[in-house]
Amino acid sequence: MPADKIRVEVEGRELELSNLDKVLYPAVGFTKGEVIDYYSRIAPVLLPHIRDRALTRIRFPNGVDGQSFFEKNAPANTPDWVRRKRLPAPGSTKDRETVDYVVADDLPTLVWLANLAALELHSPQWKIGADPDLLVVDLDPGAPAGLPECCAVAVLMRDRLADDGITSYPKTSGKKGMQLCAPVSGRQSAEVVAGYVRRVAEELERSAPKSITSKMAKKLRPGKVFIDWSQNSAAKTTVAPYSLRAQPLPSVSTPLTWSEVEAVTKGKKGAVRQFTAAEVLVRVDEQGDLMADLLAGGPEVPA
């Protein structure tokens, strides 16, 4: 076997790992071996959030400064033991009727994906064969707005969703913004859920037009937070909790506490930021999965 390859056994599955010393985050020298180590260690809290969901990956074979590509189909060299599911492909840019998705249900699959430099893991708001069991609100700041402004809008959105009996959980995007995730019933279509989030976003825009927009036009975003309700479309995916992001630092889409978010709205600097992989591992050791209750199910949204 070439010197740059090793064979390992992960939960009874044999994998061949390669180029572990290859630097994928040049700004800090973070290697593929460290990416694999992160995903191996975060797996207990990450896997429940992507299990039974059709996974879209963004691969960076030459690191975050190199070319990347979205991957929905299982690649040709996918091991037989990796779960695959053939599903319709709404909104496919390649006019495919179906896609053979990878479904990451276990640690060996996660390690295999990390070895392919699949740095970012994105999943839909529905499990295979079901309607959405998650509602997602993407908060995208237009400069000079940033995370502090996102935190302020997140609190407004939290309180508005709570009026309808919906409990939401915040996380960073790992890039510049935030997302709120909320468990919903799984008995309503994506169109119904997206329509509800859109109505709430428009309501908040009317109440705070100088700081919030619900419209996608980028020319309307400077200095405002765009509430992207369209993430609830059946064709859309959202970065998974605990996924790495392709940024100069190995940042992570990180679950937060509401007290951290509220602290930012009260002027406490640094309470919420884009956390790195090492910091997230410490947070999970200390706090567990702050989004564990997402998996418990939730109510129907007002139609």
Domain 5-123 matching CATH 3.40.50.10490: the answer reads no
Domain ranges, ordered by start, for the chain? 5-123, 134-296
With a CB cutoff of 8 Å and minimum separation 6, the contacts of 51 are 103, 104, 105
Q: Write the pLDDT tens digit of every residue in 3-26.
A: 689 999 999 999 999 999 999 999
Tokens of 294: 């997402």
Counting residues of the chain whose pLDDT is more than 90, the rounded percentage is 91
Report the pLDDT value the prediction gives residue 30, as an integer from 0 to 100.
98
Assess whether pLDDT exceeds 90 at residue 220: no
Per-chain mean pLDDT for the chain: 95
Report the pLDDT value the prediction gives residue 217, as an integer from 0 to 100.
82
pLDDT average, residue stretch 201-206: 98
pLDDT average, residue stretch 49-67: 98
Assess whether pLDDT exceeds 70 at residue 94: no
Assess whether pLDDT exceeds 80 at residue 91: no
Report the pLDDT value the prediction gives residue 58, as an integer from 0 to 100.
98
Report the pLDDT value the prediction gives residue 186, as an integer from 0 to 100.
97
User: For residues 69 and 59, what is the distance between their CA atoms, to the nearest angstrom?
Assistant: 6
Assess whether pLDDT exceeds 80 at residue 2: no
Please check whether residue 243 is in contact with residue 120, taking contact to mean a CB–CB distance below 8 angstroms. yes
User: What is the enclosing helix (H) or strand (E) of 139?
Assistant: strand 134-141
Q: Kindly report the CATH number that applies to the domain delimited by 134-296.
A: 3.30.70.3300
Report the pLDDT value the prediction gives residue 78, as an integer from 0 to 100.
97
Question: What's CA 85's distance to the chain center, in Å?
Answer: 20
pLDDT average, residue stretch 164-184: 98
pLDDT class of 97 with cuts at 50, 70, 90: confident
pLDDT average, residue stretch 103-117: 98
Q: Write the pLDDT tens digit of every residue in 180-200.
A: 999 999 999 999 999 999 999
Lateral strand order in the sheet of 56-59: 69-71, 56-59, 118-123, 238-239
Dmax of the chain from CA atoms?
64
Q: Write the pLDDT tens digit of every residue in 253-285.
A: 999 999 999 999 998 888 899 999 999 999 999
Q: Write the pLDDT tens digit of every residue in 122-165.
A: 999 999 999 999 999 999 999 999 999 999 999 999 999 999 99
Q: For the CA atoms of the chain, what is the radius of gyration?
A: 19
